Amino acid sequence: MNNENTALYAFKKYGNTVLRAAFAFSGSYAEAEDIVQDVFLSLHTNPQNFNSDEHLKAWLLRAAINKCKNFRRSFRFSRTCSIDDLEHSEVICEMDTESRELRQQIAALPKKYAEVIFLHYYEGYSIKEIASMLNKNENTVGSLLRRGREKLKAELEEEGDLCQVKIIKTL
């Protein structure tokens, strides 16, 4: 694949995946769209060489996560609406009620837990792949994943949401 077509190929193949990740980490569909645009524009203007499609996908997700972190630090983040105000957005409406509630519970977790849970369960990455993406030790990622699940389960049990607790037990 030549560098001129890399961004177009990546967008066609991984555009929705990057959008879902950006939405999950930014909490705003509009911001997620902007972040995705920035990621692919960055890839287009500064072409990279990738060993495989998985390497490309990991790079795109890492770039999106980094841009989300920058967004969350920005002044604009404190001046935008919450995810609850986006009840009718396209991404949220695609999910059933239980999935939406679970996703909101995951998003409410501390960022370090939400990040690894999303990458592992929603994007299907292994602990080793997540460790590589986040530049963390595999044992650290495994611990974050375990603690995140425990914290999520405890919060759901506290709220008495037994349906969601059953879902968590399958995670």
pLDDT in tens, 4-26: 688 889 999 999 999 988 888 87
Range of the domain at 72: 1-94
pLDDT digits (tens, 9 = 90+) for 87-130: 444 444 444 566 667 777 887 888 888 888 888 888 888 898 88
Structure tokens at 6: 């890399």
Helix residue spans in 27-137 (DSSP H):
29-45, 53-73, 90-93, 97-108, 111-117, 127-134
Q: Into how many domains does the chain fold?
A: 2
The CATH code of the domain that includes 31 is 1.10.1740
- Whether 78 and 119 share a structural domain: no
Q: How far is CA 14 from CA 17, 57, 105, 154, 156, in A?
A: 5, 7, 25, 34, 32
Instruction: Provide the whole-model pTM.
Output: 0.53
Query: What is the separation, in whole angstroms, between the first and last Cα of the chain?
Result: 37
Residues 121, 41 share a domain: no
| 85/124 same-domain check | no
Same domain, 4 and 85: yes
Q: Rounded to whole angstroms, how far apart are CA atoms 61 and 79?
A: 25
